[in-house]
Amino acid sequence: MTPPTIALAGASGDLGSRIARALVRRGATVRALIRPGTSDSEQTHLKALGLTLVPADPLDAAALTATLEGVSCVVSALNGLRGVIVERQGALLDAAVAAGVPRLIPSDFSEDFTQTQPGDNRNLDLRRELMARADHAQIAVTSILNGAFMDMLGAEMPILQPGIRRVLYWHDADQPLDFTTKDDVAAYVAAAALDGTTPRFLKIAGDSLSARALAATMTEVIRILSISLTNQDSSGLPTPRPEPVSLPLASARISIVFANDSIGVRIIRIPFVSCRNRDSADPSTPRPEPVFLLLAPLEFSGVFNTF
Ligand SMILES: NC(=O)c1ccc[n+]([C@@H]2O[C@H](COP(=O)([O-])OP(=O)(O)OC[C@H]3O[C@@H](n4cnc5c(N)ncnc54)[C@H](OP(=O)(O)O)[C@@H]3O)[C@@H](O)[C@H]2O)c1
């Protein structure tokens, strides 16, 4: 059987390249839509992933439509504001409809924007705006709502504040927050892109935890760290334990590491434990295999306060 062809916009990006790899692993033919001016080195990189590169100019509707002939699903992992999320993806939507592509997965990959009020969050409003257009078009659309990327916890996502020993929250410390790793989202997108029966929304989460639960886990990590540090050897000096200690943090695992005299804490692995479509009782909902991810080290010292 001929493998299905998936068109991918944004393959050069962080999530896009992960989706590309996941699609190739699943046996899809991936047509990467690249912008005019993409560098030779980037093109070489994308080809090495096993992608077929197709120049795509959003201003040339006829050419864009031609690039989508024979495609079974268009996946977008583009990133930006109105010019990308609404306008660039709008051009992609129009071309996909004109080419008779049956399905589109737009670049949503966010919290559930069907539950937020217009005006609350600009980025979610832009997604809702595209959704309003796409839902009136002759194409089936699947939005993947995965919460925050787990990989950003302790990095770009500032809710862990080691310097002031706090976990930050807004409004409600008990509000559950969904987290899913980038690789898990990518694996899920690939499964959904190749499944012609995916519903309008796939709401997934590697796990959910509140700011309070996160603070409690961090406090427990530090408690274990303190016990470890009070181990005495025969000389009476504190002896750093060489082996890592680890605790589960929702779907992440926090590992306490000792190196010479320094002590660090790293989130090291994210077992893919509970990715699920919470709105669907359909057991055929795609469930990619577990994947593991090495996260950027999260170094901190001190005790995280509980609330
Ligand atoms: N839930 C979360 O916590 C979370 C966190 C981060 C991102 N996201 C979402 O995940 C999606 C992908 O984000 P990312 O971090 O992977 O983005 P990224 O690394 O910045 O990649 C963006 C991609 O979009 C392309 N692009 C940007 N502007 C374009 C334009 N005007 N025309 C054509 N292509 C354009 C880029 O192409 P070039 O390489 O040519 O520039 C690149 O391939 C977005 O929807 C983003 O909002 C979610």
Residue whose Cα lies nearest atom 9 of ligand 1: it is 109
Q: What number of CA atoms fall less than 13 Å from residue 237's CA on the CB side?
A: 4
Ligand 1 proximity of 78 Cβ (cutoff 6 Å): yes
Ligand 1 pocket residue status of 3, Cβ below 6 Å? no
- Helix (H) / strand (E) element for 66: namely helix 61-67
pLDDT on residue 223: 60
Q: Which residues contact 111 (CB under 8 A, 6 or more apart)?
A: 124, 145, 147, 148, 178
Pairing of strands 103-105, 140-141: parallel
CATH 3.40.50.720 residue ranges of the chain are: 5-141
Kindly give the distance from the C-alpha atom of residue 12 to the centroid of ligand 1, in angstroms, as a whole number: 8
CA angle 113, 116, 122 (to 5 degrees): 75
- Coil, helix or strand at residue 42: helix
> What confidence score (pLDDT) does residue 96 get?
98
> Could you tell me which residues come within 8 angstroms of residue 51 by beta carbon, excluding any fewer than 6 positions away?
8, 11, 20, 24, 30, 31, 32
- The confidence score (pLDDT) of residue 31 equals 98
Give pLDDT, residue 231. Answer: 47
Indicate the pTM of the whole model.
0.80
pLDDT tens, the chain, 307 aa long: 788 999 999 999 999 999 999 999 999 999 999 998 899 999 999 999 999 999 998 889 999 999 999 999 999 999 999 999 999 999 999 999 999 999 999 999 999 888 888 888 889 999 999 999 999 999 999 999 998 887 777 667 777 765 566 777 777 778 888 888 888 899 989 999 999 988 999 988 877 777 777 777 666 666 655 555 454 444 544 444 444 444 444 444 444 444 444 444 444 333 333 334 444 444 444 433 332 222 223 333 333 333 2
Q: Please give the number of the atom of ligand 1 that sits closest to the Cα of 84.
A: 31
Q: Which atom of ligand 1 is nearest to the CA of 85?
A: 45
**Substitution site in 38, 79, 86, 128 for ligand 1 pocket (most atoms within 8 Å of beta carbon):** 79
β-pair partners for 8: 32, 75
Predicted pLDDT at 163: 57
219: Cβ below 6 Å to ligand 1? Answer: no
What's the CA gap between 17 and 160, in Å, rounded? Answer: 27
* Under 8 Å between Cβ of 8 and 51: yes
* DSSP at 286: -
The CATH superfamily label for domain 5-141 reads NAD(P)-binding Rossmann-like Domain (3.40.50.720)
Cβ–ligand 1 contact at 35 (below 6 Å): yes
Q: Does the CB atom of residue 10 touch ligand 1 within 6 A?
A: yes
Evaluate: CB of 177 within 6 angstroms of ligand 1: no
Element (H, E) at 229: helix 211-229
